Structure 1
Amino acid sequence: MSIQNKHFLNDPSSLVLDSLRGLCAINPKLVLDEKNKSGFLPLEFSRNESKRRLWLVVYLGTHDRSKVALLCGGGSGHEPAHAGFVGEGILTGAVCGSVFASPNASQVRRGIELIESEKGTVIIVKNYTGDVLNFGLAKEQYASLHPEQANQVKFVIVGDDVAVGKTQGSIVGRRGLAGTVLVYKIAGALASRGESLEKVYNIAQWVASNVATIGVGLDHCHVPGTAKSSSHLQDSEIEIGMGIHNESGNRRLHPNPPLNELIPELLDLLTSTTDPERSFLPFQGQEKLDETTPTQSLLLSLLDEQADAPGWKWSSHVAPSAKPQLAKPAPQIIRRAFEAPLKAADPASFKASIERACSAVIGAEPEITRMDTIAGDAVLKKLSQNTISGEDLVGSVIAIAQVAEETMGGTSGALYSIFFFALAQGLQSQPNIGIFTKNTVWCNALTYALNQLYTYTRARPPSRTLVDPLAAFIEAFAQNSGADPVEALNAAVSAAERTRDIEAKAGRSAYVEGNRLKQERVADPGAWGVKTILESLLN
């Protein structure tokens, strides 16, 4: 799997600064402290290159200083964390380092000073060595410089990743991942309610100790401005528990499993109480509740409480349902009954023609598209159910139109569906007919359907679309009043073949690689599908 080495940015060294300036520009409640950023310090992006290392503070300028303040931070590159969660009802400030690089203690201390409040401050960081050391050092520096505030700053470390087992992570503990955001939200809602420093800290600490997450990586991430590198994962391989800085995970799976197999495996890693390496949390009735344990109703209410931050914009406020609510199935379109349905002169021959067309479309799948295969299967199913038969031509044409609408999708499905519905209208008032036996009737109905199709598409021959062979067939068929269907078929085949040499004027090819398709003489798939259907109907 290739690593993305192209990026939309001004310069790697200003990436974080540019991003935070944009964040604050669209959110006037936020303030960016960039005057105190560091100068040039070495940061190894590649063996022989160093870039400017920046530490910046984003904080809520409208913070109520009579309430507990919350500060977070760490290396950038994990957006919307950390600055994206700064806002009313959640975080008060965030200290942002360069991509994957922790801010230094001086800048963190600056962040503490910018948001300090009468009730104190809770610092929340992910369990990574650089973050813990630098934010911890800043806390101690602040306490030394402001001894009267020494007990007013609390420190919470979040380690929620269950990918690394207890033996391997015995000293460093679990890594910090997305569970940190839940700590932000619950602590922020408590602070917004005006709760004490001790309560905000204690519940934040409880949540940090009782949250578990697991992630899956498709590929390792790439820092803009670094030397190009290759992936350690194969194209069809994923890694459970890959760290947010490309650290090794739990294991790799090959080939990529479907989600309905992957999710249960991830849930087992989170909730297992029998795995000695990963039974981190007391699930399945093993909770040891005491007076310091927050109630479920309190935690849910804190999560649901309104917050105003780019990274947390919506809460459902209701428990998830076991099954999603589904709309009732739409009733089938019922055609108005006439005195007598149109009947083919030879119903068996009519059905056989439709079956040949469907089978031919399926057989030509590599040259057309998988959508046509699905449609062919659906029509064959309706034939087997006798929904499409020679006993009711108009009803059969409508059934084919419904298949095109429901199973093909995209532009081709809409065009086919419009054409067949219009063809049904053209046949509505006709006497009993057979397939291409009373050809004048079919000429009129087909011409009517083509004109109706032209109402909804600007494609006109030659356009390198399915309209080319369709129009060629109908126009040739009408010119000789249906006397020679084979001549009309030949006109359609020629029109489909000519799409190899036509510059696209309509359809998807008009926007993407139209010249290349012409140079390589690639026929239009839609036109080829019409050719295949007509050949099968008339041979």
Structure 2
Amino acid sequence: MSAIQSKHFLNKPEDLVSDSLEGLCALNPVLTLDRQNKIVHIAKHDRSKVALICGGGSGHEPAHAGFVGKGILTAAVCGNVFASPSASQVRRGIDLVQNEKGTVIIVKNYTGDILNFGLAKEQYAALHPEQADRVKFVIVGDDVAVGRTQGYIVGRRGLAGTVLVYKIAGALAQRGASLDEVHDIAQWASSRVATIGVGLEHCHVPGTAPSVTHLSVSEIEIGMGIHNESGNKRVSPVPLLSELIPQLLELLTSTEDPERSFVDFKGKGKDKVVLLMNNLGGVSELELAGVLSETKKQLGARGISIERILSGSFMTSLNMPGFSITLLLLPSESSEPSFDLVLSLLDDTTEAPGWKWSSGRPIKPLQLTAVAVAASKSVKGASITASNPELFIQSIKKACEALIKEEPEITRMDSVAGDGDCGLTLKAGAQGVLNKIGDGSISGKDVIGSVIAVSQVAEEAMGGTSGALYSIFFSALAQGLSSSASSNSATTTHQVWSEALKSALAKLYTYTRARPPSRTLVDPLAAFAEAFSPDSSAQAVRAAATAAQKTQDLEAKAGRSAYVEGDRLKEQKVPDPGAWGVKTILENLNIA
């Protein structure tokens, strides 16, 4: 079992929360910090308006303190990681935001938060009887993973949907609404949000002993909480998003499941929602946008109209590799609060740094850019045939298959000597070439067109530095072959290949500073081109293999390895991954 990521950047674990809050206040100078009580609040808040206080355990950043700012919250009271603040901390927070209209406290449905914030409210009322009716309480429980039977006593957990309650109530307070109006709309929003989370693994709490995974490499967990609580269902193997998202949306929108029909969705195309896609802490922006795309597609398939989308980190669980989906069911046109009011409150600007950008417009079908017409696959007027067309194609297939098989080893090398993607990049190129063979774009009867097709694959399927180098080399190789074809050479020969390879290498040198020995793919490529002769290609292959092997002893002068600690490369004796890829191709290729 592999270990959960348990390394952190900090001074002392016990100071992490306070240090983090100081950093937040440095980011937003309108905020100030009561460090002793871990309270972030607006330094000069407008005391003619209702104040909003939230809080709970830390580790969910930007919740809670990241939403303090004009237009959302007035103060946030923070506990230690995953631990509720004390009642005395909360009571101090109420004192700090005292105002003419009153205060609304919004907490997630967790026992510690409810008890400590509730106790503070009652203690404050006892100490200030005249203020007793001017502090109101809202509890948000939006988790749909916990069914009614299981959660009969404790209720649903509060998750990322709580943030939408903050925003709607905070925006209304900013407009000058009364205490009852702000409290009522917070209660309404709380009753209309539904959230479900899913994770690949739990998170690690700073200052605790390293832990090991409780999920296998092929499992995910649906219904995970934000304090490392286990979910209600494990799924294996890890499903495609097109399979996972419908399961999650069914839990959110079901109108027939007596355990989980928490929000009154109507179905039949009548529902309009706000979609909040929340990163639980450890998901890349690349993946999260893919999750968002699939969720949008699946909501559309259910006839649910998305009026607004918010995406990013709103309520995390430290470094948990997972996400949650929240739906806020909007009111019908004739309901109270009105449809237009709720959307306008969400759209109102705020100075809170944790709030993410939104377009402020309904979501329309995606308009894809028209596909460009493909470039001609061959050079006009030039044609040359392989000396053995069938062997030519078979050897290209063999080289591609060898490259795909070698991907794990090349990836391992690149994890030490580069950024870890070389194996996958070469595999993508090899698969792209096989696809071109399948559709007839690569043929032994049109060598020039085939080489151009390989160049296009390198450009489009591989990308990056190696893709550009391969594409330039093969484009130049096609030019060299074209010169031979123009000289009335109807078929490829060793002489034709020799001249074309050398001219291609010369053109490549105009675009890269790498020269052998450089610990790059240029080393074996140059060795092959220079040793290739009309008499023998086997000698050139051996020269390329030797050059690739020698890269393990070279100091990196160019390419990915130039940024890696030199001693580490020497100790591990790792050849250059790109050079190894060239070696793999050439050892399986017969171009004559």
Calculate the TM-score normalised by the size of structure 1: 0.87
- Cα distance change on mapping 1:240 and 1:446 into 2, 3 Å: same
Moved more, 391-400 or 135-144: 391-400
SS of 2:193's partner is coil
Shift of 1:419: 0.7
Gaps of at least 5 residues in structure 1 are 38-54
Pair 1:406 & 2:449 matched: no
Pair 1:352 & 2:352 matched: no
Pair 1:343 & 2:343 matched: no
- Cα distance change on mapping 1:253 and 1:100 into 2, 3 Å: same
1:358–1:533 Cα contact (<8 Å) kept:
no
SS of 1:214's partner is strand
Pair 1:251 & 2:238 matched: no
1:279-294 to 2 correspondences below 5 Å: 279-284=261-266, 293-294=336-337
CA distance in 2, matches of 1:5, 1:437: 59
Shift of 1:335: 7.3
SS of 1:70's partner is strand
Give the letter aligned to residue 259 of structure 2: E
Within the candidate set 533, 538, 547, 1:495 is matched to: 547
Deviations 1:128-159 (A, max 9, x none): 11111111122222223333322221111111
Indicate the structure (1 or 2) with the bigger Cα radius of gyration: 1
Shift of 1:228: 3.9
Give the letter aligned to residue 409 of structure 1: G
Partner of 2:478: 424
Within the candidate set 203, 208, 214, 1:221 is matched to: 203
Partner of 2:508: 453
1:343–1:432 Cα contact (<8 Å) kept:
no
- Cα distance change on mapping 1:79 and 1:520 into 2, 3 Å: closer
Q: Number of matched residues?
A: 512
Give the letter aligned to residue 347 of structure 2: D
Partner of 2:168: 186
What's the % identity of the aligned pairs? 64
Give the letter aligned to residue 488 of structure 2: N
Partner of 1:303: 346
SS of 2:388's partner is helix
2:400–2:431 Cα contact (<8 Å) kept:
no
Within the candidate set 321, 333, 348, 2:375 is matched to: 333
- Cα distance change on mapping 1:355 and 1:211 into 2, 3 Å: same
SS of 2:194's partner is coil
Within the candidate set 21, 36, 49, 1:67 is matched to: 49
CA distance in 1, matches of 2:48, 2:383: 82
Partner of 1:366: 405
Partner of 2:522: 467
Deviations 1:21-69 (A, max 9, x none): 01101210101112xx2xxxxxxxxxxxxxxxxx311111232221111
CA distance in 2, matches of 1:161, 1:276: 15
Shift of 1:390: 5.2
Pair 1:529 & 2:581 matched: yes
Deviations 1:403-445 (A, max 9, x none): 1111223332221101111223344444232554372x55444
1:85-164 to 2 correspondences below 5 Å: 85-164=67-146
- Cα distance change on mapping 1:364 and 1:518 into 2, 3 Å: farther
RCO higher in 1 or 2 (8 Å CA, sep ≥ 6)? 2
CA distance in 2, matches of 1:318, 1:138: 40
SS of 1:495's partner is helix
SS of 2:221's partner is strand
2:101–2:179 Cα contact (<8 Å) kept:
yes
Partner of 1:10: 11
- Cα distance change on mapping 1:393 and 1:190 into 2, 3 Å: same
- Cα distance change on mapping 1:454 and 1:217 into 2, 3 Å: same
Partner of 2:277: none
Shift of 1:517: 5.7
Give the letter aligned to residue 309 of structure 1: A
- Cα distance change on mapping 1:390 and 1:238 into 2, 3 Å: closer
2:458–2:467 Cα contact (<8 Å) kept:
yes
Deviations 1:502-537 (A, max 9, x none): 444333344447656655655444334333444422
1:30–1:87 Cα contact (<8 Å) kept:
yes
Give the letter aligned to residue 95 of structure 1: V
Shift of 1:98: 1.2
Partner of 1:267: 249
- Cα distance change on mapping 1:360 and 1:241 into 2, 3 Å: same
CA distance in 2, matches of 1:171, 1:25: 42
Moved more, 393-402 or 106-115: 393-402
1:341–1:392 Cα contact (<8 Å) kept:
no
SS of 1:133's partner is helix
- Cα distance change on mapping 1:400 and 1:80 into 2, 3 Å: same
Give the letter aligned to residue 21 of structure 1: E
- Cα distance change on mapping 1:107 and 1:374 into 2, 3 Å: closer
1:361–1:529 Cα contact (<8 Å) kept:
no
Gaps of at least 5 residues in structure 2 are 271-328, 408-422
Shift of 1:182: 0.6
Shift of 1:213: 0.8
Give the letter aligned to residue 590 of structure 2: L
CA distance in 2, matches of 1:378, 1:257: 25
Partner of 2:276: none
Deviations 1:86-113 (A, max 9, x none): 0111111111111112111222111111
- Cα distance change on mapping 1:200 and 1:512 into 2, 3 Å: same
Partner of 1:437: 493
SS of 2:39's partner is strand
Give the letter aligned to residue 446 of structure 1: L
Within the candidate set 408, 427, 432, 1:378 is matched to: 432
